[in-house]
Amino acid sequence: MEPSHKDAETAAAAAAVAAAERGASSSSGVVVQVREKKGPLRAAIPYMPFPVAVICLFLNTFVPGLGTFVSAFTVLCGARTDLPDRHVCCVFWLNIAALIQILTAIVMVGWIMSIFWGMDMVILAISQGYKEQGIPQQL
C-alpha cells in the first residue's frame, strides 16, 4: 500500500517540528505549506464587504437559506469567489446550498448549516479586509 499525499504532508510537518525542537536553523531546507482544499459548495461562498456579510449572517440566522440566496446576488454584482471565472456556476451552487438549508431546516440541520455559512461569509469578509490592507492576519 502506497502512502497517500496526506501522509506525506503529515510526515513533512512532523520532520519540521522535530527539526525546530532540535534547534536547527530555518535554512535547513524544510518548507511546510498548508493549503485548504475546498469543495464546490464551499468555494462558491463569495468574498463580500463586511456589512453585507453581517446582513447575510443575520438573515441566515433567522430565515435559513435567505442570506445564502442573497449572497448569490453579490456574485452577480461582482463579488469574487474561489471558483475561477464561473459566476453562473457559483450562483447555481449557492442556490443549491440555499435550497438544502431551507429544506433541511425542519430537522434543525439546515438552520445550523445556514448559521455556519453566515459565519463563513463574515470570516471571508474579514480575511479579505486584511488582505486589502496588507495587514498580517492571525485567525
Q: What is the pLDDT of residues 63-120, one digit of tens each?
A: 999 999 999 898 888 888 888 766 778 888 899 999 999 999 998 999 999 999 999 9
Distance CA 57, CA 63 (A): 10
DSSP string, the chain: -PPPHHHHHHHHHHHHHHHHHTT--GGGS----------HHHHTS-B--HHHHHHHHHHHHHSTTHHHHHHHHHHHTT-B-SSTT-HHHHHHHHHHHHHHHHHTGGGTHHHHHHHHHHHHHHHHHHHHHHHHHTPPP--
Same domain (yes/no): 17, 59:
no
Of residues 41 and 12, more confidence is placed in 41
Q: Is the same domain home to 69 and 119?
A: yes
Number of domains in the chain: 2
Are 17 and 63 found together in one domain? Answer: no
pLDDT at 77: 86
Q: Are residues 48 and 100 in the same domain?
A: yes
Instruction: Return mean pLDDT, the chain.
Output: 79
92 and 59 in a common domain:
yes
Supply the range of the domain harboring residue 89: 40-133
- pTM tops 0.75, yes or no: no
| 9 and 76 inside one domain | no
Question: Is residue 125 domain-resident?
Answer: yes
Is residue 138 one of the residues assigned to a domain? no
Distance CA 38, CA 36 (A): 6
Residues 12 and 45 reside in one and the same domain: no
Q: Are residues 28 and 64 in the same domain?
A: no
